[in-house]
Structure 1
Amino acid sequence: MSAANSNSVEEIIRHIDAQADGNSRLSVGDIVGELGHRSHGPFLLLPGLIGMSPLSGIPLVPAFLAVLIAVFSLQILIGRRQLWVPDILARRHVEAATVKHALNRITPVAQWMDRWFGRRLERLSGKGAVRVAALVCLALSLAVPAFELLPFAGIAPMTAIAGFGLAILVRDGVLMLAALAITAGTAVMLFQIIASL
């Protein structure tokens, strides 16, 4: 089963993990190629999950993930079926050991997601809802630099982005609504960060 034909988060992680085996480094282009073009969900879900992991504490990692999310969100908004990554991003490499470590940390979360989410209120995860989610993810990605002012605060927008990605992947309208609620909380947090400056 290819990642492109799977609605399982764990299956997508397994495919990327297998790609990291035997390689010292993985490029962003390699990972995007592995995701395929069947669903836009993984393109938001995976950066969001990585942004929720301990890797988000590494300087500039949240900013890099935010740029990726912005690029993907814009393409979803304009209706591209197969998402593209600019060469300057596609050529960026990550140590395979780092990728495997991050994937190992998020695998239990992925297994939990596969058990509990999917096929609820599917009308709220249709094309129009996907574009609304992409617009919200774009706004969240633009706010990530402000969240970097506080250690690990970037986890808040990344959680919402991961929620939207998962909702799109498994066609779960209830999860889409939950991601919107997380976004509202994230917006409140952002105003508090700005007010404290």
Structure 2
Amino acid sequence: MADDSTALTDVVDELKDASEGKETVEVGQLIDALDQRGYGPALAVLPLMELTPLGGIPGFPTALALLVGLLALRMLLGYEHFWAPNWLRKRTLDTDKVLKSVEWLRPVSRWIDDKLQARLSRIAGATGQKVACVVILCLCFSVPPLEVVPFATSAPMIVISIFGLALLYRDGLLMLLGFIGAGIAAFAGASYFLGG
């Protein structure tokens, strides 16, 4: 178990709390809810939103990739807090869709909380984090062209989420799996677009 056995579930609950009681929720409100817990939870949860009903909204995967890329860049540069441009923070999402997405994530987060733990922590240390940030940025750049292929944006988002979980739990084994997943995603993407 991780030090906090409900780490990811707590993050999902905070997203729910930030969304309830409104007809729409601003992206900035979700960012602020995640900012309290740091980069690991944000990089773990935000990419998974692409797998929920929100992922079906045209342009959402690209906007999500932009946000995740900004977070990874700030982490790489050593900033403690999140930042997103005002036009992205002010973008609104239907609260019902956000809450449905959060409810979809809840059992997933409970399962993850139960399974992950700190392992091979040195791999998930400062150097591993910087390399992961660079890989995450590359994965984010791959999302916009993949939107033309049904369900293709899910692959890079899942890999990014693996990196986020590795950071959240200080799990070096999961970090290694993230690097392997990124390599597989890059190979599959290149093969598809090069017609091989």
TM-score by length of 2: 0.92
CA offset digits 1:85-120 (Å, max 9, x no partner): 211111111111111011111211111110111211
**Mind listing any 5+ residue stretches in structure 1 that lack a counterpart?**
none
Could you say which residue in structure 2 is the equivalent of 1:102?
101
Contact 1:40-1:165 at 8 Å conserved across structures? yes
Contact 1:122-1:172 at 8 Å conserved across structures? yes
Count of aligned pairs: 193
Contact 1:37-1:81 at 8 Å conserved across structures? no
**Mind listing any 5+ residue stretches in structure 2 that lack a counterpart?**
none
Residue 191 (structure 1) shift: 0.6
What secondary structure is seen at the aligned counterpart in 1 of 2:79?
Answer: coil
2:152 and 2:195 map into 1 onto residues whose CA distance is 14
Contact 1:148-1:154 at 8 Å conserved across structures? yes
2:95 and 2:159 map into 1 onto residues whose CA distance is 26
4+ long deviations beyond 4 Å:
none
Could you say which residue in structure 2 is the equivalent of 1:123?
122
What secondary structure is seen at the aligned counterpart in 1 of 2:93?
Answer: strand
- The amino acid across from 1:29 in the alignment is G
What secondary structure is seen at the aligned counterpart in 1 of 2:25?
Answer: strand
Contact 1:56-1:152 at 8 Å conserved across structures? no
Identity percentage of aligned residues:
32
Contact 1:13-1:107 at 8 Å conserved across structures? yes
1:79 and 1:65 map into 2 onto residues whose CA distance is 21
CA offset digits 1:100-157 (Å, max 9, x no partner): 0111112111111101112111111112211111111100000112221210011100
CA offset digits 1:36-95 (Å, max 9, x no partner): 344211221222111223432321111111110111111111111112121111111111
Contact 2:6-2:110 at 8 Å conserved across structures? no
Could you say which residue in structure 1 is the equivalent of 2:35?
36
Contact 1:118-1:171 at 8 Å conserved across structures? yes
- The amino acid across from 1:178 in the alignment is L
Could you say which residue in structure 2 is the equivalent of 1:72?
71
Q: CA RMSD in A?
A: 1.8
1:57 and 1:184 map into 2 onto residues whose CA distance is 26
1:183 and 1:53 map into 2 onto residues whose CA distance is 21
1:150 and 1:24 map into 2 onto residues whose CA distance is 31
1:40 and 1:72 map into 2 onto residues whose CA distance is 7
Q: How does 1:3-14 map to 2 (within 5 A)?
A: 8-14=7-13
What secondary structure is seen at the aligned counterpart in 2 of 1:94?
Answer: strand
Could you say which residue in structure 1 is the equivalent of 2:47?
48
TM-score by length of 1: 0.91
- The amino acid across from 2:11 in the alignment is I
Could you say which residue in structure 1 is the equivalent of 2:134?
135
Contact 1:37-1:83 at 8 Å conserved across structures? no
2:26 and 2:96 map into 1 onto residues whose CA distance is 13
Q: Could you tell which deviates more after superposition, 132-141 or 45-54? A: 45-54
Residue 194 (structure 1) shift: 0.9
